[in-house]
Structure 1
Amino acid sequence: MSYVKPSEFTAKMIDAGEAKVFMSLRDTVIRAFMAGAILSLSAAFAVTVTVNTGQPLLGALLFPVGFCLLYLLGFDLLTGVFTLVPLAWIDRRPGVRLNLVLRNWGLVFVGNLAGALTVALMMAVIVTFGFSVEPNEIGKALGTIGESRTVGYADHGAAGMLTLFIRGVLCNWMVSTGVVAAMMSTSVSGKVIAMWMPILVFFYMGFEHSVVNMFLFPSGLMLGGEFSLMDYLVWNEIPTVIGNLVGGLTFVGLTLYATHARTGPSRPAVVLPEKAPAKAGAR
Structure 2
Amino acid sequence: MSYLAPSEFTKKMVDAGESKVLMSTRDTIIRAFMAGAILALAAIFAISIAVQTGQFLLGALLFPVGFCMLYLMGFDLLTGVFVLAPLALLDKRKGITATGVLRNWGLVFIGNFAGALIVAFLMAYVFTYGFNIEPGPVGDKAASIGEARTLGYAEHGFAGWMTIFIRGMLCNWMVSLGVVGAMISTNVSGKVIAMWMPIFLFFYMGFEHSVVNMFLFPFGLIMGGDFSFMDYIIWNELPTVLGNLVGGLAFTGLTLYTTHVKTAAKRQVMP
Do both share a fold (TM > 0.5)? yes
The 3-state SS of whatever aligns with 2:159 is helix
Cα RMSD after superposing both structures? 0.7
| Partner Cα distance (1:165, 1:18) in 2 | 27
Please give the residue correspondences for 1:40-51 in structure 2 after superposition, counting only pairs within 5 Å: 40-51=40-51
Structure 1 match to 2:30 = 30
Give, as a single letter, the amino acid of the residue that structure 1 aligns with 2:163. T
Structure 1 match to 2:249 = 249
| Partner Cα distance (1:88, 1:162) in 2 | 29
| Partner Cα distance (1:37, 1:14) in 2 | 26
Give, as a single letter, the amino acid of the residue that structure 2 aligns with 1:208. E
CA-CA distance at 1:101 after TM superposition:
0.3
Please give the residue correspondences for 1:80-95 in structure 2 after superposition, counting only pairs within 5 Å: 80-95=80-95
| Partner Cα distance (1:253, 1:5) in 2 | 16
Q: TM-score if structure 1 supplies the norm length?
A: 0.95
CA-CA distance at 1:270 after TM superposition:
2.6
| Partner Cα distance (1:79, 1:167) in 2 | 13
Please give the residue correspondences for 1:221-260 in structure 2 after superposition, counting only pairs within 5 Å: 221-260=221-260
Please give the residue correspondences for 1:49-128 in structure 2 after superposition, counting only pairs within 5 Å: 49-128=49-128
Question: Is 1:174 aligned with 2:174?
Answer: yes
| Partner Cα distance (1:148, 1:130) in 2 | 26
Structure 2 match to 1:134 = 134
| Partner Cα distance (1:74, 1:2) in 2 | 19
Please identify runs of 4+ aligned residues in structure 1 that moved more than 6 A: none
Give, as a single letter, the amino acid of the residue that structure 2 aligns with 1:195. M
Q: TM-score if structure 2 supplies the norm length?
A: 0.99
| Partner Cα distance (1:107, 1:160) in 2 | 29
| Partner Cα distance (1:26, 1:130) in 2 | 32
CA-CA distance at 1:64 after TM superposition:
0.1
CA-CA distance at 1:181 after TM superposition:
1.0
CA-CA distance at 1:91 after TM superposition:
0.3
The 3-state SS of whatever aligns with 1:184 is coil
Q: Sequence identity, in percent? A: 69
**Aligned residue pairs, count:** 271
CA-CA distance at 1:139 after TM superposition:
0.5
The 3-state SS of whatever aligns with 1:211 is helix
Structure 2 match to 1:158 = 158
| Partner Cα distance (1:162, 1:95) in 2 | 36
The 3-state SS of whatever aligns with 2:182 is helix
| Partner Cα distance (1:122, 1:51) in 2 | 20
CA-CA distance at 1:122 after TM superposition:
0.6
Give, as a single letter, the amino acid of the residue that structure 2 aligns with 1:92. K
Give, as a single letter, the amino acid of the residue that structure 2 aligns with 1:69. M
Give, as a single letter, the amino acid of the residue that structure 1 aligns with 2:164. L
Structure 2 match to 1:278 = none
| Partner Cα distance (2:176, 2:183) in 1 | 11
Structure 2 match to 1:279 = none
Structure 1 match to 2:184 = 184
Question: Mind listing any 5+ residue stretches in structure 2 that lack a counterpart?
Answer: none
| Partner Cα distance (1:100, 1:19) in 2 | 11
Give, as a single letter, the amino acid of the residue that structure 2 aligns with 1:157. G
